[in-house]
Structures are given as structure tokens and as C-alpha cells.
Amino acid sequence: MSEKKIILIGGGGHCRSCIDVIESGNEFTIAGIVEQSGKKKSGLILGYPVIGCDNELDALKKQYDYALITLGQVGLSTTRQQLFSRLKQTGFILPVVISSRAYVSKHAQIEEGSIIMHQVIVNAGARIGKNCILNTRCLIEHDAGVGDHTHVSTGAVLNGETQIGSGSFVGSNATLVQGIKLPDNWFLKAGHLIVSEKDGKPIRDNL
């Protein structure tokens, strides 16, 4: 069992998936889950205790060094961004967490607080920002870039040299053709295909 104890911030469905990813490796031991203020503080989530609320982070920092944001993101990333800033200000280390069943090229770059889930592929030259979610089976091809606080959903495909701005959401099975650039805070629905750009704006083929 690892000596690195980590707390998870947010106890919903995404948290359960994150637990499964952490358990697939040997780097961290889950100390417990931290819920949002006002939510029930008792009980277990996949066998792990709820140890407090997010208004107790200062006290929890005295016991634990590592934290991961396990609150999900569908649409705006505002809450995840706020949590990220608060955890950094409190002094937590936000590690990169990678499933043992994912492939990440040694030539790719992944920044703090991001999680790479089962069967994700991140190829050479890709750059993943801070506090990102790369969800199950998504593909980040060579030299693609994903901005901070962005969620790339299940089965999405970012082809080579695509760029996604910060705070964005890419829906399940969406596809970006090579070289496409999406701005900050972009929302791309599930299954959509971005085929080209006009006047700097992405064009979908299936609105």
C-alpha cells in the first residue's frame, strides 16, 4: 500500500470513476472523500469514508498533502476552477493521476491536477493543461493541446494538432478534424464533428 495518502474533493458519480482509476495503480492510497458544504458527512463511497466538507480544507491540509478534484464537469468548469484555486492556496499538491490501463506517450505533457482515465490514449507531443478530465477511451492525437480545466468526454477524438481552449467541454464521441482550434469555454455536444473553420469560427457538419 502506498504511503501517499490522497483526499478526493467531490463524492458523486465522477468520484466513483476516479476511485477506480486510482485503485488501478499503486501510487496513492485514498484517505477519504470531501463533500460540498451542507452535504451529508457520514457514510461510505465504494468503501471509503466521507471525512469532511470543503469548508474544512484548512484543517484537512494538516493531515494530508495530496488532493484530487473528483467533482464532475458537464458544461461550465467554474466550480472545478474555484476548487482548484482554493486547493492551491491551501497548499495541497494536486498530482497527475493516470490509469494503469491508459497509454500516455513519454513525449506528451500533462499538468497538475489532471486525471487520465481507463483506455485513454495520449500520443506524442500532446499537451494537457491543469485540472483536466480525459475520460474513458478518448483519444488525444499527436501535437494536440487541451487547455486548463477542460473535460474531454468518453470516446471523443482530438486529431493531430487540434487545440481546445481552457474551461471547455467536449461531449462523448465528438470528433475534431486535424488542426481545428476551439476557443476558451467552448461547449461541444456529444457526437458532433468539427470539420473546418471559417473566419476563425469552428464549423460543425451535424448541427
- Reported as a single tens digit per residue, the pLDDT across 118-149 is 999 999 999 999 999 999 999 999 999 999 99
Is the CB of residue 9 less than 8 Å from the CB of residue 70? yes
Query: How much is the mean pLDDT over the chain?
Result: 92
Q: For a pLDDT cut of 70, what percent of the chain falls above it?
A: 91
The pLDDT assigned to 202 comes to 61
Nearest to 192 by CA among 181, 202, 200, 184: 202
Is the CB of residue 201 less than 8 Å from the CB of residue 183? no
Cell 456529444 -> residue? 190
The pLDDT assigned to 42 comes to 65
Q: What's the pTM?
A: 0.93
pLDDT beyond 50 at 207: no
What does the block give as the cell for 5? Answer: 495518502
Question: Predicted confidence band at 41 (pLDDT cuts at 50, 70, 90)?
Answer: low
Question: Predicted confidence band at 153 (pLDDT cuts at 50, 70, 90)?
Answer: very high
How far apart CA 180 and CA 33 sit, in angstroms, is: 38
* Domains of the chain and any CATH numbers: 5-95 (3.40.50.20), 98-198 (2.160.10.10)
pLDDT beyond 60 at 14: yes
Q: What is the mean pLDDT of residues 169-185?
A: 95
> Residues 1-13: pLDDT tens digits?
567 999 999 999 9
pLDDT beyond 60 at 198: no
Is the CB of residue 121 less than 8 Å from the CB of residue 103? yes
Q: What is the mean pLDDT of residues 145-167?
A: 97
> Residues 63-94: pLDDT tens digits?
999 999 999 998 889 999 999 999 999 999 99
